[in-house]
Amino acid sequence: MASREVEKRRRQEKHSSKRKAPHLAVLPTILIVCEGKNTEPSYFNAMKFKSATIEAVGEGYNTVSLVERAAVLAKRKTYEEVWCVFDKDDFSDSDFNQAITRAKKYGFHVAYSNQAFEYWILLHFNDHAGGPLHRTACQAMINEAINPLGATYSKEDKLVNGPLFHLMFSNDCDTGKERSQLAIQRAKRIYGLFDHRSPAKEESSTTVFQLLEYILSFKRY
């Protein structure tokens, strides 16, 4: 009798060992290759999602060289999408436009800002109408809007810190709408004012709204 029980346990253990380990779903990963080493990565990496992984890296490259760097990084593994995030700043019109064209040839998406990423931040707090706005003035306008709300954007470290990130995704006191949605609406409206034949001429504008809309299509925690 005892021998039967031993044999039964052996068969059960043998059967159990053949069972496959439970399959863990691999979340889609979005690669965001940023020009800036601080502002953009700190913003995108603060976003947490149940159904996707955000991998934002600040490479310190610009325009065309950033796109080429993205092409290298994109070979490391399979990404759901690859986005290049860069600014017009004081780079030549030809370099800026060429970077956009080259990124699309690689199959990448582009979230550019003319002049700078700070313009995207500003649109969360200011219903700017578009038109020329130097990045230095833009930074001052950001602090003018957020300082009374208990946040600061430092010109030195240029980080989207916790208090600022929280404000960007909280509700606007006047409209009751989430500020990130206001920024998307405003950026879309301004983007629609241009013909996009030469994005380098389209100051002030940003296509970061396209990237955020895509990211927000995934479930947040």
pLDDT value for 212: 98
- What pTM did the predictor assign? 0.87
Which pLDDT tens digit goes with each residue over 52-71?
999 999 999 999 999 999 99
Percent of the chain with pLDDT over 70: 88
pLDDT at 213 over 60: yes
pLDDT of residue 17: 47
Question: CA 129, CA 58: separation in Å to the nearest integer?
Answer: 29
Question: What are the distances in angstroms from CA 87 to CA 1, 12, 63, 94, 206?
Answer: 79, 63, 7, 13, 9
Region 1-20: what's the mean pLDDT? 54
Q: State the pLDDT at residue 21.
A: 47
**Range 105-110 average pLDDT:** 98
3-class state of residue 190 by DSSP: helix
How is residue 99 written in tokens? 């970077």
